[in-house]
Amino acid sequence: MSTLTIAAVQTNIQWLDKAKNLANLAERLDSIKSADLIVLPETFSTGFGMDDEAIQEPQQSGMVYEWMQQQSIKHNAVIAGSVFVEDAGRKRNRFYWIYPNGETYFYDKRHLFRLGHEEQYVNPGTSREVFEINQIRILPQVCYDLRFPVWSRNRQDYDVMVNVANWPIMRRDAWDTLLKARAMENQVFVVGVNRVGLDGKNVDHSGGTAIYDFLGRAIVSAEDNQQQIIQMTIDIDELKAFRQSYPMLKDADDFEIKI
């Protein structure tokens, strides 16, 4: 298959309340008739409260992980989103990628948000991952990763970038601009999934959940400040045809990332 149907979920996350957030999301996901991939925001079950010990989950187990498995089976779709998990007395900001058959992969957020003191509580990821659905290659990213283009540089090894975030309204222009830039410079579709609402640290979020094509055009986007699910079916054959007509990636500089 050359197509991928994506459901991007923009939601208001209730601060540190896993049960309420999961119940709210389960109800909203019931409106999805069919999708290959369902994407939830960064820390969708708790909000960005990395300094609270109660929010972390065991690795590949626990309430939130089991809920994701159940939702993946129910909707017959990959479900993805980030969760704080335990890691050697600290945490990881873990982007789970769960298939309906139970197969699980993950990417740990590499770039920790220093302004919010994330690095004081969270261990950074050490590897770049690429996942697949329908033989379509997908690069997972988490929030602040978006500001570091070398980390997301397309080595002709992916077709879609997915970034899940708690990106505040005060820096919303950067979110919109960088999503568009990553799509154009890497010749990929980009899916940006952000939250809305005020969090427990009095930080406001306006959303900006959208799917961009390889020309940097927002082909579908959510309403600001609204809980909403947007859906789009993208065609990778269109992307391949564009890359053939404008083979920019063949002229990209070679480099090595040292971790």
Per the residue annotation, which of 18, 57, 91, 143 is the catalytic one? 143
- The rounded distance, in Å, linking the Cα atoms of 229 and 4 is 16
Q: Give the active site residue among 18, 42, 118, 180.
A: 42
Query: Is residue 109 annotated as a catalytic residue, yes or no?
Result: yes
Q: Do the beta carbons of residue 200 and residue 16 sit within 8 Å?
A: yes
DSSP conformation class of 250: G
| Alpha carbon distance 219, 156 (integer Å) | 23
Of 18, 57, 91, 109, which one is the catalytic site residue?
A: 109
d(CA 233, CA 11): 21
> Is 96 buried (19+), middle (13-18) or exposed (0-12) by CB count in 10 A?
buried
Q: Please give the Cα distance from 59 to 125 (Å, whole number).
A: 14
For 73: left if phi > 0, alpha if psi spans -120 to 50, otherwise beta; the answer is alpha
Q: Are 188 and 211 in contact (CB under 8 A)?
A: no
Q: Is 240 a catalytic site residue?
A: no
CB 88 within 8 A of CB 123: yes
Burial of 220 (0-12, 13-18, 19+ CB in 10 A): middle
Residue 1: CA count within 13 A, CB half-sphere:
11
Distance (Å, rounded) from C-alpha 96 to C-alpha 82? 6
- For residue 17, give every residue at least 6 positions away whose Cβ sits within 8 Å of its Cβ, in sequence order, or none: 46
Give the active site residues: 42, 109, 143
